[in-house]
Structures are given as C-alpha cells and as structure tokens.
Chain A
Amino acid sequence: GAVVSQHPSWVICKSGTSVKIECRSLDFQATTMFWYRQFPKQSLMLMATSNEGSKATYEQGVEKDKFLINHASLTLSTLTVTSAHPEDSSFYICSARDGGTGGNQPQHFGDGTRLSIL
C-alpha cells in the first residue's frame, strides 16, 4: 500500500530555532501534498497545500513566512517552521494522495511530527 514517511517524529528545540520537517511518498509520486496541524484532542487543521514545482497554497490565517513549504520533487515536501516559538508547539502531519488527483482517492498520512519549543 501507499506509504508516506515523515521525519523527524519528535523535535525539541529552543525558541528562535528553525525546524524542518520532511514528508516523503515512498512508493508513489505525489504532485500534491498537504500539511496539517493538530492540537491536543482536536481534529486536523489544514495549513497548506503543497504543489510540486509551484508555490504552496496557504489556508486563511496561516503565516506563509512562518511556515515555509517546499515541494521540490514528486516524492518530497518540506515544512520549515521559522524562528519557532512556544506557541508553534504542536503535532504536524503531512499527507499525500496516490492514484492521481481525483477527490475519490484517499489521502495517505505520515506518522506526524511532535514539535516542542522550549
């Protein structure tokens, strides 16, 4: 089955540090990947849609200069949290859709990254 690998799984760092999270589709190509944020005991909140070879599309209220997204290849998207502060601490999850761009294809999720900013 389609596998999405996300790395690292856990990051603890000091305030002001920039953190990069990688999302890879291991056995399929993904022209579109998605980045979500999840607060404790809440559902997933879409942050942005990452498009291979073009700029990401950010959801309303998400700072694009804070959350930099790069989708340089068909199998890799990265999310960089720049100058992270404690309020950026959260669980970040990426996903990718296999089998084309149709909405009836399920998205496959990475295992998430727990980000803790001290």
Chain B
Amino acid sequence: AQSVTQLDSHVSVSEGTPVLLRCNYSSSYSPSLFWYVQHPNKGLQLLLKYTSAATLVKGINGFEAEFKKSETSFHLTKPSAHMSDAAEYFCVVSPTDSWGKLQFGAGTQVVVTP
C-alpha cells in the first residue's frame, strides 16, 4: 500500500523569497514520485519526477525536489517565488506496476504576495 501526505494545505510567500512545499510518502517499495501544478480551471502540469535515478531532481520553472529515502520525503523547492507560481501543487506517488493508479496528496495552495 502507498500513500502521500502534503504537510501544508496553504503556503503564502512573498515574491522573490524561497518556496518550500513538503511531501511525505509511504510505500512498501521504491516508488516513482511526481510534483504537478494546477492553475485555476486547468489540468495538471508536470513539474518534475523522481524515478530512482538522481535523488535531486530539477524540474521546470526553477523548481527542484529532493528524494530522501531515510525521511520518506520528497519536498519541492524554488529559490525565488514569482507571481505566476501562485497555484495548487500536488505531490503524487505511482506504483511501479503497469496499471498504476496515481495516489494524490491533498494539495498545497500557494499564494504569492507582491
């Protein structure tokens, strides 16, 4: 069984300051992990993915995430927030079998203030 927990439902940051979105997972085997972003009334856009290669993963728009097996975490960071980063972010875990249903976190709403 697997699950994913996003520790913050809401994060507010000032433009130009760092962003940290926390995600912990539970899995009985090495999972694949993803971060997606969703803007209002839009689908989900893939930011980055971890698939058992490098533990520090770089994604689009300056985001990166670090896989820490000992802490079962996959936190998303960005050094400097931009107004366009305001959105909902989902941490997602995927099993390694073929038909894998994605397990979604509850989401983190990011607000960026000027």
Query: Which residues of A approach B to under 8 Å, CB–CB?
Result: 4, 6, 9, 32, 34, 41-44, 46, 49, 91, 93, 95, 101-104, 106-112, 114
Collect the chain B residues with CB atoms within 8 Å of residue A110's CB. Answer: 43
User: Complex Cα distance A91/B38, Å?
Assistant: 13
Interface residue SS majority, chain B:
loop
A102 touches B96 (CB 8 A): yes
Query: Which residues of B approach A to under 8 Å, CB–CB?
Result: 32, 34, 36, 41-46, 49, 51-52, 90, 94-102, 104-107, 109
Given A102-B96, A104-B96, A43:B90 Cβ within 8 A: yes
7 A-B pairs besides A103-B32, A103-B98 with CB distance below 8 A are A4-B43, A42-B106, A43-B104, A43-B106, A49-B101, A95-B44, A104-B96
Q: A58 CB to closest chain B CB, in angstroms?
A: 12
Report the nearest A residue to B106, measured CB to CB.
A43
Q: Which of A49, A95, A104 has the most CB of B within 10 A?
A: A104
A-B interface pairs (CB < 8 A), number: 59
Collect the chain B residues with CB atoms within 8 Å of residue A6's CB. Answer: 43
User: Complex Cα distance A4/B109, Å?
Assistant: 24
User: Complex Cα distance A4/B46, Å?
Assistant: 12
Given A43-B104, A43-B106, A104-B94, A109:B99 Cβ within 8 A: no
Given A104-B32, A106-B49, A114:B41 Cβ within 8 A: yes
Across the A-B interface, the 4 shortest Cβ-Cβ residue pairs: A103-B100, A109-B43, A104-B51, A109-B44
Collect the chain B residues with CB atoms within 8 Å of residue A104's CB. Answer: 32, 49, 51-52, 94, 96
B44 touches A103 (CB 8 A): no
Collect the chain B residues with CB atoms within 8 Å of residue A112's CB. Answer: 41-43
A103 touches B46 (CB 8 A): no
A111 touches B104 (CB 8 A): no
A103 touches B97 (CB 8 A): yes
Q: A51 CB to closest chain B CB, in angstroms?
A: 9
Q: B60 CB to closest chain A CB, in angstroms?
A: 10
B43 touches A103 (CB 8 A): no
Report the nearest A residue to B104, measured CB to CB.
A43
Q: A35 CB to closest chain B CB, in angstroms?
A: 12
